[in-house]
Amino acid sequence: MGMRFVDLHCDTLTRDDDDILRTSQGHINLDKLKRGGAWVQFFALFIPTGREASERPGGFLEPHAFYERYRAVWQREMAANADAVAPAADMDDIRANTAAGRISAVLSVEDAAALEGRLERVDELYADGVRLMTLTWNHENELAWPHAAEPERMRRGLKPFGVEVVRRMNELGMIVDVSHLSDGGFADVARVSSAPFVASHSCARSLSGHTRCLTDAQLRILGDKGGVVGVNFCPRFLREGSLHTTIDDVVRHALHIRDKAGVEALALGSDFDGVPGTLEFEDYAGLPRLADALERHVGSAEMDKICSGNALRLMSEVWR
């Protein structure tokens, strides 16, 4: 058996296609997952706000309505493809799915704007099977501010509701995701969270200069807290101004994250179907090419951690 992968983030379910997992021509479909060696795939329900909400097919919806819309897509796709993929809400589910030869699918939410300021909705999302939530996307919400080019905005931390949400996520066993968050927000999560947290799809800021990426200090903090960084395949996060992701670019960031945060903190967070531009390894089926290139720089034991073990360890520590 070849290398098996846990990927902490993709946007496949919000492509607004019918029969997405069978017929999508994007980065992910069932055939590509199988050929690439998928073990566990986190499927994000992206919550559009602002201009992005108005531009979605079907028109504007409030954040929680978008959540319900895309959760219906999740339910439809899981039911239609139960022979090949099955939801996982705990480690027992993953073990059972693996034994049955199915890929495990984990439901996540990208942008806690879906809560619309209501703390009880954290419990509702958890009951729906959501096991990871990104606190912000690229717009301010009721919890926090996103990354920004302006230093004053970047210093802004969690709002009081954001602190409440992080604490409730900790209590329930939902993974806190700091991707897209401001530097001040990151610092507050590191202070407030009683559980390890993730940057599910992020890169190293010192290599690309992009505010969406993590500083070396943040990488060290995340590693010290037992957290995980899923390296993102987005070209402009890997190399300033780039429109094409090379294998060398991803390897460079992966090794930097390993060196700053520790090998136990490095994982995969592809951002497949949310990545603009092109990829040298094309799509999920090309992941073994990336793994082969990375393995030339690290040992086989480290590869097992990077491709699956670190993410599984964090999941087992946080999930109830």
Q: What is the pLDDT of residues 43-77, one digit of tens each?
A: 999 999 989 999 998 889 999 999 999 999 999 99
The reported pLDDT for the residue numbered 18 is: 81
pLDDT band for position 278 (cuts 50, 70, 90)? very high
pLDDT band for position 190 (cuts 50, 70, 90)? very high
Q: Which two tokens stand for residue 199?
A: 């940057």
pLDDT tops 80 at residue 16: no
Which runs of consecutive H residues, i.e. helices, occur in the chain?
A: 20-23, 30-36, 51-55, 63-80, 91-99, 120-127, 151-154, 160-172, 183-192, 205-208, 216-224, 235-238, 247-261, 287-295, 300-304, 310-318
The reported pLDDT for the residue numbered 208 is: 98
pLDDT tops 70 at residue 91: yes
d(CA 91, CA 94): 5
pLDDT tops 90 at residue 139: yes
pLDDT tens digits, residue range 202-252?
A: 999 999 999 999 999 999 999 999 999 999 999 999 999 999 999 999 999
% of the chain at pLDDT higher than 90:
96
Strand (E) or helix (H) holding 181: none
CA distances from 53 to 49, 195, 209 (A): 5, 32, 28
Q: Average of pLDDT values for 176-182?
A: 99
pLDDT band for position 1 (cuts 50, 70, 90)? low
Nearest to 136 by CA among 105, 158, 167, 153: 158
pLDDT tops 70 at residue 97: yes
Q: Average of pLDDT values for 115-143?
A: 99
The reported pLDDT for the residue numbered 57 is: 86
Nearest to 205 by CA among 192, 189, 186: 186
% of the chain at pLDDT higher than 70:
100
Asked if residues 277 and 242 have their Cβ atoms less than 8 Å apart, the reply is yes
Beta-carbon contacts of residue 217 (< 8 Å; ≥ 6 apart)? none
pLDDT tens digits, residue range 73-84?
A: 999 999 999 999
d(CA 23, CA 260): 40
First to last CA, the chain: 30
pTM: 0.98
What domains, with CATH codes, occur in the chain?
A: 5-318 (3.20.20.140)
Q: Average of pLDDT values for 295-302?
A: 95
Beta-carbon contacts of residue 79 (< 8 Å; ≥ 6 apart)? none
Q: What is the mean pLDDT of the chain?
A: 97
The helix, strand and coil proportions of the chain, stated in percent and rounded to the nearest 5, come to: 45, 15, 35
d(CA 239, CA 75): 37
Side chain identity at residue 143, one-letter code: L
